Structure 1
Amino acid sequence: MNYNVRGENIEVTPALREYVEKKLSKLERYFDGTPNANVHVNLKVYNDKQQKIEVTIPMTQLVLRAEESNLDMYAAIDLVVDKLERQIRKHKTKVNRKFREQGSTRSFFTNGESKTAVQEPETESDDFELVRTKRFNLKPMDSEEAILQMNMLGHNFFVYTNASTNSTNVVYRRNDGKYGIIEPS
């Protein structure tokens, strides 16, 4: 794993960098072999002394992301690692169970970069300012896996290709906490 540790309003000391790398390297035990992934860590300190850590690990067919805030940076690091471990265990169990049921022997957790991302809504009207465009390959999956990916990314929607119909769908979180799917007619 390649670590990219940045600090905002904080100097990333060698001791802090070493602690982050040591804690995050414990996640490697959940993968078949050492994943060749770039780990993006952003450490922030706010005016009210609140300290925040954001970790993003893009991988093949999966993006792990977590953030935590605490008054102590080292405590925030411990909390974010715990959150990432829970995400990995939950996702690995569900996805590997799905692959076993389908008779596939390939492991979900493999080396590589992620090509899965969430697309921001685009508008073509002159009344709206377009500030970002994202392009990505849509991976065929079922709605359950799309909801899992959406929750791991911490977003309210996720664009994917429906594996059974081969059409582009959007899964989203409703205001009542349940989920909805938008399908083309």
Structure 2
Amino acid sequence: MEIVVTGRHLQIKPKFRDVVESKMNRVTAIAPDTQRVQVVLSHEGNPRLADTAMRVELTVIAGRTVVRAEASSSDDLSALDLALDKLTLRLRRTRDRRKDHHRGYEAAAAVDLGVVEPETDEVVAEYEPLTPAQAVAGDLEPGESVEVQVGDTPIVIRRKLHIAEPMTIDEALYEMELIGHDFFLFVNSETNRPSVVYRRHGYSYGVFEIESQKNL
């Protein structure tokens, strides 16, 4: 298993790297087919956010399965423990889902979420356009990301290349829960349209489907 530890705008201390490597046996115990674990440590410089200044992002890649978790705390090791707890819980869910599948379990039918209307008025902000010399998603490898600052502003745009595979809405919701995001990009296998599922209030979800104007 490959373990990659990187820092975002900070230097990784040898102690943190050693602790990461010593704790990764929790991952292999649940997911022995894990090929790669990515650990990203970042620091929030705002003094008002001292209690959550250190953020750890964990990504496990096992074949075509990607499981992600992140957490923040006042120090790097506490953030690592919190993120690892979330990650192992999601890995167990993945393992149990595989077991249920082999036993003949059938996932619940996808729910018709209907047409989702915007809940707030759209706000459009005009920013300085990115120059051609700056990285774009087309220059990235699958799963790779890059941060680009917009001109002289404090705005930073993070670009990432995501490979969308055909799946049902139910499967997309499950994948969204695994990576711990509030949204998930996919290709709807029933309509063959690029789509996004996202979390709304409580236990309700929404879905957007995209259709090119020329196809209408």
Counterpart position of 1:36: 35
Counterpart contact for 2:68–2:179, Cα < 8 Å? yes
Tell me, which stretches of 5 or more residues in structure 1 are unaligned?
104-126
SS in 2 for 1:101: coil
Instruction: Measure, in 2, the Cα distance between the counterparts of 1:99 and 1:54.
Output: 31
Counterpart contact for 1:9–1:46, Cα < 8 Å? no
**TM-score normalised to the size of structure 2?**
0.59
Counterpart position of 2:167: 141
Equivalent AA in structure 1 for residue 170 of structure 2: E
2:192 aligned to 155, 162, 167, which one?
A: 167
| Shift of residue 176, structure 1, vs aligned partner | 5.4
Counterpart position of 2:17: 17
Q: How many residues align?
A: 159
| Shift of residue 182, structure 1, vs aligned partner | 4.0
| Shift of residue 51, structure 1, vs aligned partner | 1.7
Equivalent AA in structure 2 for residue 35 of structure 1: T
Instruction: Measure, in 2, the Cα distance between the counterparts of 1:75 and 1:137.
Output: 32
Q: Confirm or deny that 1:158 pairs with 2:161.
A: no
Counterpart position of 2:71: 68
**TM-score normalised to the size of structure 1?**
0.68
Equivalent AA in structure 2 for residue 44 of structure 1: S
1:51-84 Cα deviation digits (max 9, x unpaired): 2211122333322211111112212111111110
Counterpart position of 2:91: 88
Equivalent AA in structure 2 for residue 17 of structure 1: R
Instruction: Measure, in 1, the Cα distance between the counterparts of 2:18 and 2:8.
Output: 17
Instruction: Measure, in 1, the Cα distance between the counterparts of 2:162 and 2:74.
Output: 37
Counterpart position of 2:153: none
| Shift of residue 16, structure 1, vs aligned partner | 1.6
Instruction: Measure, in 1, the Cα distance between the counterparts of 2:202 and 2:182.
Output: 12
Equivalent AA in structure 1 for residue 183 of structure 2: F
